[in-house]
Amino acid sequence: MASEIPSGNAVVAQSGGPSAVINQSLVGVIEGLRGQKGVGRILGARHGVRGMVKDEFVDLTDLPQDRLDLVASTPSSALGSTRDKPDPAYCERILTGLKKHSIRSFFYIGGNDSSDTCRIVSEMASASGYEMRAYHVPKTIDCDLMMSDHTPGFASAARYVAMAFLGDNLDNRALPGIKINVVMGRHAGFLTGASALLRQREDDGPHVVCMPEVPFVFAEFAAKVEQVYARLGRCLIAISEGVQDAQGTPIMQLLAPTQERDAHGNLRLSGTGALGDTAAQMLAAKLTPAGGKPPRTRADTLGYAQRYWPDPSPVDSREAREVGRVAARTAFGGPTRGSIAIVRTGGAGSPNPGRPYGAEFKRVELTDVAAKTRHMPAEFLNGMDVTPAFVEWLRPLVGETPRVGWV
C-alpha cells in the first residue's frame, strides 16, 4: 500500500519519439504531484533514463503555473528523450540513481518499451527492499498500446495526417497523377487510416490505404492503383511505413535490407524517403503503357512533422494532461505501480454510441501494457481502406478541421 512507502523525491522522464502533447503529460504529472503528502522535490530527468544514470536532473518543484502552461502547450519532449532500452544492468544503474537521490516515485512517459522499463525497475526495487512508486504514463502517436481506446499523442498526429490528405487531395485534383504519402506507424495502421478522415466527395482521396495489419502484396496494390487511375485519372495513396508482407517482413526491409536498426532492434523506418520513392518507381514502371509515357508519379514521406506539428488536437491536449495528473494521483492514492489507460465512455465505438464523446482514465497493470502491441481491430479494416466505423471512432479526437469549397 502507498502508506508504507517512505517520503522522498519524485522523478519524471520522457522516452521515445516525442509527440505534440507529451509535455502536457509532463505538466500533468507535476500538477498531480503537487500537494501530495510525502513528496519532496519534483525532479525531471534529462533524456529519459539516460539522465537518471548520468545524474542529469532539473528541479521542477517550483515552476510557476504560467511557465508550466507554456511548457505544456509546447511540442516535443521538454526534458529531452532517449531511444535507450535498458537491460537489467542498465536498470540496476537507474535504481542506484533513484536511491542516491532519495527518489520514491518514478513516472515514465512513453510507449510500451517505457512501460517495460517501469516494470523492470519497479520489480528490481521490490526485490532489493526499496519501497517506491512506479507509473507508466502512456504516449505514442502510433495508438498501439493495449487496454486503451487511444493514446495521448495519437490524435494530434492523426490531425496532421488528416489535414495533409485534405490538402493533398485538392493538390492531386489540380495536377492529377499518382501520389504516394508515407505515414508513420511501425505496427499499427491507426495513423495511416487517419488519412481517410476528411474525404467528402465520392472521388476524394486517399483512394488506396495500406496499413501494416493487411499483408502488402505489390501486384494487388498496383492493380488497385491502376483501377483508380483508369477511372479518375489520378490516385492518392496512403501507405504506412510499417507495411509488411504476408510473412510479417517489413516491406522497407525487403526494399532496403541494409537499413539501420535502433537499440530496441527496431528497423529504422522514418527519416528517409526510401519507401515512398521505391514504391513510386515501381508503380510508374508497372503503369507505363507499352510505348507510352509513364504516369505523373510523386511520393512524399510525411516525416517527423506528424509528431511535432505545433497545432495539436485540443482533445488530445486535455487528455494528455489528465493522464499525467491521474498517474500521479493514483500512485499516491492507489496501487504503487501501474499504467493509465484511456477508456471511451461516450460516442462512436463506446458502450454509449448515442452520447457525445467522452473518456475516462483507469489504472491498468504494467504487465498489461509492457512490450505488447495493439493492432487495428477487424471492424476498422476493409482491405486497402478503412471502414466508416473507423472514421466515426476517429472524428471526435482530432478537433475542428477546415471546410472545403469547390467550383
Look at strands 57-59 and 39-45 and give their pairing. Answer: antiparallel
Question: Which phi and psi (to 5°) does residue 301 adopt?
Answer: -110, 115
| Rounded least distance, CB 190 to a second copy, Å | 20
Which of these ranges, 56-64, 134-142, 204-212, 359-367, lies near a second copy under the rule CB under 8 A?
A: 56-64
Q: Report in angstroms how near the CB of residue 144 gets to a second copy at its nearest.
A: 19
Q: Which residue among 56, 220, 277, 368 contacts a second copy (CB under 8 A)?
A: 277
Report the residue number, 181 or 350, with the smaller CB distance to a second copy.
181
Q: Looking at beta carbons only, is 88 or 402 nearer to a second copy?
A: 402
CA distance 191 to 182: 11
Among 67, 201, 231, 261, binds a second copy (CB under 8 A): 67
Residue at 228: amino acid letter: V
Cell of 164: 495533409
Exactly one of 10, 11, 52, 60 binds a second copy (CB under 8 A); that residue is: 60
DSSP string covering 51-80: HHHHT-EEE-TT--HHHHHHHHTS-S-TT-
| Of residues 328, 316, 307, 338, the one with CA closest to residue 12 | 328
Instruction: State the minimum distance, in angstroms, from the CB of residue 407 to a second copy.
Output: 5
Q: Pick one of 91, 166, 238, 341: the residue that binds a second copy (CB under 8 A).
A: 166
Q: Does 70 bind a second copy (CB under 8 A)?
A: yes
- Which of 381, 398, 397, 400 has the alpha carbon at shortest distance from 389? 381
399/155 Cα distance (integer angstroms): 9
Nearer to a second copy, 161 or 208 (CB): 161
Nearest to 376 by CA among 343, 345, 349, 347: 349
Q: Which amino acid is at 327?
A: A
Grid coordinates given for 157:
498526429
Positions in 8-47 near a second copy (CB under 8 A): 14, 17-18, 20, 23, 44, 47
The three-state secondary structure class of 260 is coil
Q: Is 161 in contact with 185 (CB distance < 8 Å)?
A: no
Q: Does 171 bind a second copy (CB under 8 A)?
A: yes
Catalytic residue among 113, 116, 142, 316: 142
| Binding track over 296-335 against a second copy, x by CB under 8 A | -xxxxxxxxx-xxxxx------------------------
Residue with cell 511520393: 299
Instruction: Check residue 255 for interaction with a second copy (CB under 8 A).
Output: no
Of 6, 167, 335, 383, the residue at the interface with a second copy (CB under 8 A) is 167
Letters for 172-201 (x = contact with a second copy by CB under 8 A, - = none) are -xxx---x----------------------
Q: What angle do CA 297, 298, 303 make, to 5 degrees?
A: 155
Q: Which is nearer to a second copy, 76 or 126 (CB)?
A: 76
* CA atoms of 198 and 167, how far apart (whole Å): 10
Annotated catalytic residue 142: yes
Q: How far is the CB of 342 from a second copy (least distance, A)?
A: 23
Q: What are phi and psi of 176, to 5 degrees?
A: -65, 150
Total number of residues binding a second copy (CB under 8 A)? 66
Residue pair 155/122 in contact (Cβ under 8 Å)? The answer is no
Interface stretch with a second copy, choices 123-131, 245-253, 268-276, 371-379 (CB under 8 A): 268-276
Whose CA is closest to 331, among 57, 21, 51, 108? 108
Would you say 216 or 309 has its CB closer to a second copy? 309
Q: Does 216 bind a second copy (CB under 8 A)?
A: no
> How far are the Cα atoms of 8, 63, 122, 189, 337 from residue 100, in angstroms, in the given order?
11, 23, 16, 42, 21
Question: What 8-state DSSP symbol labels residue 250?
Answer: B
Among 83, 99, 318, 363, binds a second copy (CB under 8 A): 83
Residues near a second copy, by CB under 8 A:
14, 17-18, 20, 23, 44, 47, 58, 60, 63, 67, 69-83, 163-164, 166-168, 170-171, 173-175, 179, 270-274, 276-277, 280, 297-305, 307-311, 401-407
What residues are annotated to the active site?
142
